[in-house]
Amino acid sequence: MTPRYTLCCAVLCFGFMTFAFAQDAVKAEPAHYKVETENTQVRVLRIHYGPHEKSVIHSHPASVAEYLSDGAIKFNDASGRTQDATAKKGQVLYTAAQTHYPENTSDASFDAIVIELKGEQPASQ
């Protein structure tokens, strides 16, 4: 094997391992994620990011989120893709299971409630 081939394989494996082993949000980011309540069907998280705070890579199952404040968020995934989003206070949305590391790109704090769904995961919508 050539050194270049070996390096490429190592980089790809590391990227897939990072994606595959991304931690639960509460374990990975206890400063940003707090469990409000949990049962066999759902787990409710309170999310708080200060101005310009970033996260580390973590996972969520399919979820329903309600934004408690306006905000600007950049969602980054393990492959390096980014998606900018604008949150409006009171907005509610469904998201399929995902692995990401968000970043509050706003000068203000950002807060949300996320209801993570347990059991069989719904199809992406």
How many domains are contained in the chain?
1
pLDDT digits (tens, 9 = 90+) for 44-89: 999 999 999 999 999 999 999 999 999 999 999 888 899 999 999 9
Mean pLDDT of the chain: 85
76 within a domain of the structure (yes/no): yes
Cα gap 94→80, rounded to integer Å: 23
Specify the CATH number for the domain of residue 86: 2.60.120.10
What pLDDT does residue 14 have? 40
Give start and end residues of each alpha helix (H) in the chain.
3-20, 25-28
